């Protein structure tokens, strides 16, 4: 039986906004502009899995250009200086931060996996038996960025807390 999740879309939106405020847009001049477009294209993505009292994934996906911009902002570098490793590390940490904050709103006993980063479109990822239950979709400097929450549909026993 899947657990009723107490994390709604505006909670997720707030967490994403705080990530922008803290790391990606500290001056408040370059926010994520909401589009509500669930089918935005993606070129790269990262995710963390949550297990225990709740089961699912938090996924960041965006264009390469947005990912490059995120790494540049996160690491205080110029876009041209950013390496593949920088992009990979940044996307992993972004998924980790949002995932960690989502976890804090779940029933006690949830655990976060290490982040996975794939510099390939989200559609290539395999999340069997999951359903997207929430998402933040927007444009950042004209580039698509999506952060979504996927819940497992499996009827398996909950792993012990």
Query: Is residue 21 within the footprint of another protein (CB under 8 A)?
Result: yes
Positions 121 through 140 that interact with another protein (CB under 8 A): 138
Q: Which residue has the tokens 């990530």?
A: 19
Alpha-carbon distance values, 35 to 15, 53, 126 (Å): 17, 32, 25
Query: Is residue 44 within the footprint of another protein (CB under 8 A)?
Result: no
As measured in angstroms, the least distance from the Cβ of 125 to another protein is 21
Pure H helices in the chain: 9-19, 64-74, 84-104
Taking the C-alpha atoms of residue 148 and residue 130, their distance in angstroms, rounded to an integer, is 12
149 token code pair: 């929450």
As measured in angstroms, the least distance from the Cβ of 14 to another protein is 6
Contacts with another protein, residue ranges (CB under 8 A):
6-7, 10-11, 13-15, 18-19, 21-23, 26-34, 36, 71, 74-76, 85-86, 89-90, 92-93, 96-97, 99-101, 103-105, 108, 112, 114, 138
């Amino acid at each position: 039986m899947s657990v009723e999740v107490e994390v709604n879309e505006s909670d997720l939106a707030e967490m994403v906004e705080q990530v922008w405020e803290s790391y990606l847009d500290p001056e408040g001049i370059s926010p994520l502009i909401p589009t509500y477009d669930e089918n935005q294209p993606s070129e790269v993505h990262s995710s963390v899995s949550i297990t225990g009292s709740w089961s699912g994934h938090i996924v960041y996906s965006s264009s390469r250009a947005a990912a490059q911009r995120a790494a540049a902002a996160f690491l205080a570098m110029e876009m041209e200086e950013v390496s593949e490793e920088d992009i990979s590390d940044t996307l992993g940490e972004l998924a980790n931060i949002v995932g960690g904050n989502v976890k804090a709103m779940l029933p006690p006993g949830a655990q976060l996996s290490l982040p996975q980063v794939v510099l390939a479109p989200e559609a290539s990822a395999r999340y069997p038996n999951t359903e997207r239950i929430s998402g933040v979709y927007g444009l950042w400097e004209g580039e698509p960025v999506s952060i979504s929450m996927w819940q497992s549909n499996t009827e398996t026993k909950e792993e012990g807390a």
